[in-house]
């Protein structure tokens, strides 16, 4: 039976480690959906560290959209568990894909972008449920930090926060991780 588990926490809270531990405790047949794209040396180093931290026998698929495309891949077909890390990076990628001037963007266009993010994550959730695969989604809690001083940051925080709430409502389980300590919310 598939289960959707949202793992949320702040930056460096231990949420990815917790999510990976949850996956390891359930099965060895994990597909890790990596949403990050290399944008600079720092990001390349972070991606490499994540790769080294997870079990080498897990399959990694680098993808942050169009998840239907993975459903015919052998790795997906053989997996019991999907682990998406992370939804906030996925949101960032989808926002930047739009090539918008976020200082002059309309509310209607912002809403369209948010709907694209929701549509993409809903597609993955539906795929997991239909394929009887469990899914762990890692995301950042964006509402407890500093208020961004620029429009793009504010728009990102608002969209990411609403997307997180949307996924939490669809999830069977929600865990908040702070300072490496998990707190079950749902």
Catalytic amino acids?
A: 50
Give the DSSP letter string of 47-110.
Answer: HHHHHHHS-TTSEEEE-SS-GGGGTTSHHHHH-SEEEEE-HHHHHHHHHHHT---TTT--HHHH
Rounded Cα distance between 157 and 147, Å, is 9
DSSP 8-state class, residue 12 = T
Burial of 60 (0-12, 13-18, 19+ CB in 10 A): middle
The region, left, alpha or beta by phi > 0 then psi within -120 to 50, assigned to residue 58 is beta
């Amino acid at each position: 039976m598939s289960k959707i588990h949202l793992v949320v926490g702040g930056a460096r809270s231990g949420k990815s480690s917790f999510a990976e531990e949850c996956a390891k405790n359930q099965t060895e047949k994990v597909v890790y959906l990596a949403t990050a794209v290399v944008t600079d040396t720092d990001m390349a180093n972070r991606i490499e560290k994540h790769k080294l931290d997870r079990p080498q026998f897990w399959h990694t698929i680098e993808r942050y959209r169009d998840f239907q495309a993975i459903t015919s891949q052998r790795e997906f077909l053989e997996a019991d568990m999907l682990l998406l890390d992370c939804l906030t990076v996925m949101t960032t990628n989808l926002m930047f894909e739009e090539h918008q001037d976020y200082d002059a963007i309309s509310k209607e266009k912002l809403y369209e972008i948010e709907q694209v993010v929701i549509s993409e994550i809903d597609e993955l959730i539906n795929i997991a449920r239909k394929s009887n695969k469990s899914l762990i989604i890692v995301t950042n809690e964006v509402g407890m930090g500093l208020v961004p001083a620029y429009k793009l940051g504010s728009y990102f925080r608002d969209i990411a926060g609403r997307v997180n709430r949307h996924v939490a409502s669809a999830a069977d389980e929600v865990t908040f991780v702070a300072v490496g300590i998990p707190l079950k919310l749902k």
